[in-house]
Homo-oligomer: A and B are copies of this chain.
């Protein structure tokens, strides 16, 4: 089965916003064994949308589209699709019922502009959207199956995983392409590539590739064949990679570093408290992204000022004067301070020069100090991280979470 991915939005065509949906959709659709022929990105213009649907329907068995389903007048995916199908727009009862339920739950009535979202080309079915007003659209153009999803990221992700992918999975025959992902932290990409160079040779099957996301390196293994063949190939490669990379591999699949850390804490019934300076709340926020974390996360303190480090974490002022706020001495005192203050099993702390200003020859921008205190004592490290302010903070967050992970495994 051949698929074309369609993104609709003037802000995408003009380059004002980066289209990330097409890549996400293509990855998921490829994993089901479909061949993605291409992506197209077109304007919020009914004629352009109609032409894109017609062009894609002439070549592909499946079209997966996003965007242009909102309530405002510039949202005209409905109109373009109707033109490509040669069908009039009409109220689709399921879509209207969804809007009415949505409004009722909020003590409102359906506004005139929201009502636009109940109109779809005749013969379409409304795809449920549990988290937004825009239902998706399912239909056919000739023999080509079409799915239209809203462009709002959370709504798209849910509709893709819950409706579009299961429907495509049911339609895809015998052979599959599957990807297995080992998530790693700690090695530079080039070093990791050297460890895996034989597996990453061009035209080897399975295909092994690396991709950097948020300072973490994912190793993807792609295999095609019958489900049983594919699983055997993937397992064999995964075992080799795990053996070579050891504890650098922190998860498989989509599990995040914070989910792994939260899982380890929960299994041990252990608690943690976090004292953050340069990460400014990111470590706590990453942990809080995991449902159920309240059992483990006692408290976080964003001690961005020296005043806060001294008053709330009990860091001796003379330590800051002597070594500076960005020093292993100070982060050790912060980690011990938050642990003492809260009674948590583990105290974590960081302090760093995130930039763009504040660097010195001794402590250049990117210098980050990290510490972990527990019943066994306190460990600390100093890293020089590269990238802009956001990158340095994100990487520092990964380093601190990984410090706790390595202590817990």
> A residues within 8 Å of B by Cβ?
9-20, 22-28, 30, 36-44, 46, 48, 52, 55, 70-74, 76, 106, 111-114, 131-133, 151-152, 154-155, 158, 179, 181, 189-194, 196-197, 200-202, 207-213, 218, 220, 222, 274, 276, 278-285, 287-289, 291-294, 297-305, 307-308, 312, 342, 354-357, 384, 386-391, 393
The answer on a CB contact under 8 Å between A288 and B294 is no
Closest Cβ–Cβ distance, residue A217 to chain B (whole Å): 10
| Chain B residue at minimal CB-CB distance from A358 | B291
The residues of B that contact A113 with a CB separation of less than 8 Å are: 190-191, 193-194, 197
The residues of B that contact A22 with a CB separation of less than 8 Å are: 15, 19, 41
Closest Cβ–Cβ distance, residue A92 to chain B (whole Å): 18
The answer on a CB contact under 8 Å between B289 and A300 is no
The answer on a CB contact under 8 Å between B308 and A342 is yes
The answer on a CB contact under 8 Å between A40 and B43 is no
Closest Cβ–Cβ distance, residue A130 to chain B (whole Å): 9
The answer on a CB contact under 8 Å between B23 and A190 is no
The answer on a CB contact under 8 Å between B30 and A23 is no
**For chain A, what secondary structure do more than half of its interface residues adopt (helix, strand, loop), or is it mixed?**
mixed
Per the bound structure, the CA–CA distance linking A211 and B291 in Å amounts to: 29
The answer on a CB contact under 8 Å between B298 and A299 is no
The answer on a CB contact under 8 Å between A291 and B389 is yes
| Chain B residue at minimal CB-CB distance from A284 | B281
The answer on a CB contact under 8 Å between A15 and B24 is yes
| Chain B residue at minimal CB-CB distance from A8 | B38
The answer on a CB contact under 8 Å between A71 and B27 is no
The answer on a CB contact under 8 Å between B304 and A294 is yes
